[in-house]
Amino acid sequence: MYKMKNILIEKINKSYWWHVPPMDPLAYQKRGKFLASTYLQAEFYGRPNRYPEKVKISNPVFGFSEPEILKILFGKDAETKILKEAIIKDNVYNKKWYEERINLDAEMFQKAKTLGYDAIVLICKSGKKSLIQNRKPRSIELNLLRV
């Protein structure tokens, strides 16, 4: 896992990232700065900035699913967070789903900062194979904790 983490850090720091500016001006303080590895992925969240940007991370928490990251961050308390994440996914038609999603992101942001991480990195499931082969995974969501 240590070798994979180093490869991931190297690939992230050498890549360009797409960012969709949030509508909430306090979003960076509450949840960090979200970036996507491609323009197309960033478009899912809104209109990305015109130009991609570089980042510098050194200690990310990462996983190949959100429940995996929640387990790393919250340990024994992760099960309630994982259940919450599943309910949010199932209730995208609920008026409050976005607010609930934002709140979970904020909890993850605060916990990761407390534990000394500088980024939260969600990698597609097939990305593990890419990292083992010393390649950048195709789909990565990056949340910078220090903007």
Spell out the domain ranges in the chain. 2-144
DSSP alpha helix (H) spans, 15-144 = 27-31, 39-43, 66-74, 78-90, 97-114, 127-132
Could you tell me the strand order of the sheet in which 60-63 lies? 18-19, 33-36, 140-144, 119-123, 60-63
Mean pLDDT of 82-101: 76
Averaged pLDDT of the chain: 89
Nearest Cα to Cα of residue 106 among 86, 124, 125, 81: 81
pTM of the model as a whole: 0.89
Q: What is the Cα–Cα distance from 71 to 18, expressed in whole angstroms?
A: 27
Tens of pLDDT, residues 23-63: 888 999 999 999 999 999 999 888 999 999 999 999 999 99
CA atoms within 13 A on the CB side of 101: 13
What pLDDT was estimated at residue 138? 87
The β-bridge relationship of strands 119-123 and 60-63 is parallel
Q: Are 144 and 118 in contact (CB under 8 A)?
A: yes
